Amino acid sequence: MPNKRSPNAVRLEFKPDSLVQTNLSGAAFSGEWLWVAGDEACGIDRLRKLEPTGSEQLRFGEVRDFPLSGLLDLPGLPEEEADLEGMAMADGFLWVVGSHGLKRKNAKPERSHAENAKRLAKLSLDGNRRLLACLPVELDEDGAPCLVRKARDGRHALRLKGDAQANQLTRELADDPHFGPYMAIPGKDNGFDIEGLAVDGSRLLLGLRGPVLRGWSALLEIKVAAHAHELRLQPLDDSGLLFRKHFLQLEGLGVRDLHFSGEDLYILAGPTMVLNGEVRLFKWAGARSALAANREPARFETGLSESVALPHGRGCNRAEAICSLPTELSAGGKTSWLVLYDAPGPDRQQGEHAVFGDLLQQG
């Protein structure tokens, strides 16, 4: 269980026109190649491991963009942001999920009070936010992993059945007593907001930043399968149940990312609303077995342990993505994880296009 943080140990170099820049919200590895997502883009960037040039332990650059519009028939417009918040690599696919939530316009200092009051009352939904998809990864002629619409072995890029307004998941949740009332509330107001993704075969776990209900955070468990070039929800058991709810005691924090490590599930947690508050890493020991054995439509998990607290700033340096490093990238064979930050502060930036993440390691 990682308990030691090496600050600014990983350097990421982007380009002026890169799809993803500083607001990093998802990460996954293909060997020595790093995939990252940002919450203000509609695409994914791939970075290559390079030799360090300064005090960092790892450096990634030579970025390549993969716009989602070239890989999927998107539910929204190509230029609309997808607000990608979760990523996971599994069985030759890169899985991605958008926040699925509404957004509220913010007040601006240059606007009048009346104009800002109107802005703060305006809600909207970018259709690409309601995206859950798997993207085939295959090697090009130079041996570099690439995202493709259709792989040579016949695998297709697939997204959950739906359109710009709703998909199968949001329709199923609309009448749910716990989450249905929050579907019409913006994510940053403790409304419905997916920010974590973990994959175990055909079983997916979606971590919710919000809502947090009387201090209980939640994971949604679903099962998906390919059908006619799209993903569709599948029953979790013979009862026909299409989703299960797992309520976690994270001491009032919402889920920011999820990561399986062996049998255990790690939960990166932070404030559900726009607050400068604690960001912590929790461990659900034996989660894989517990999930496989569970038949309850809703269960409560209180036996979580805490690994490490992560730093945060005022309006900056919010930990949003966590994933384990491949063995070949871990110094001395120790278990190491990468942590990336949304809204990096000046201490996590160098120039206009380089940002830094942390390493978590076993002490």
Q: What digits encode the pLDDT tens for the residues 235-277?
A: 999 999 999 999 999 999 999 999 999 999 999 999 988 777 8
Distance CA 75, CA 95 (A): 17
pTM higher than the cut 0.85: yes
**Residues 259/323, Cβ–Cβ less than 8 Å:** yes
Question: Does the pLDDT of residue 2 top 80, yes or no?
Answer: no
Q: Phi first, then psi: what are they for 306, rounded to 5°? A: -110, 135
What are the extents of the domains in the chain? 4-361
Give the per-residue pLDDT at 363: 67
**Residues 41/25, Cβ–Cβ less than 8 Å:** no
Topology annotation, domain 4-361: Tachylectin-2; Chain A (2.115.10)
Q: Is the dihedral of CA 312, 257, 39, 357 positive or negative?
A: positive
- The residue among 315 and 217 whose pLDDT is bigger is 217
Look at the block and give the residue holding tokens 């999930």: 291
Q: Which residues of 165-185 are buried (b: 16+ CB within 10 A; e: fewer)?
A: ebbbbbebbeeeeebeebbeb
Dihedral of the alpha carbons of 330, 335, 209, 216, in degrees to the nearest 10: -170
Strand partners, 130: none
Dihedral of the alpha carbons of 129, 130, 134, 136, in degrees to the nearest 10: -50
295-329 per-position pLDDT tens digit: 999 999 998 998 777 888 887 888 999 999 998 89
Strand partners, 97: 86, 132
Chain mean pLDDT for the chain: 93
Distance CA 140, CA 108 (A): 46
Among candidates 331, 353, 363, which has minimal Cα distance to 12?
Answer: 353
Distance CA 178, CA 77 (A): 31
3-state SS class at 195: strand
**pLDDT band for position 284 (50/70/90)?**
very high
Among candidates 231, 211, 227, which has minimal Cα distance to 93?
Answer: 231
Instruction: Judge residue 202's burial from the number of C-beta atoms within 10 Å of its C-beta, 0-12 exposed, 13-18 middle, 19 or more buried.
Output: middle
Alpha helices in the chain (DSSP H): 113-120, 168-173, 287-293
**What does the DSSP 8-state code read for residue 155?**
-
**What does the DSSP 8-state code read for residue 222?**
E
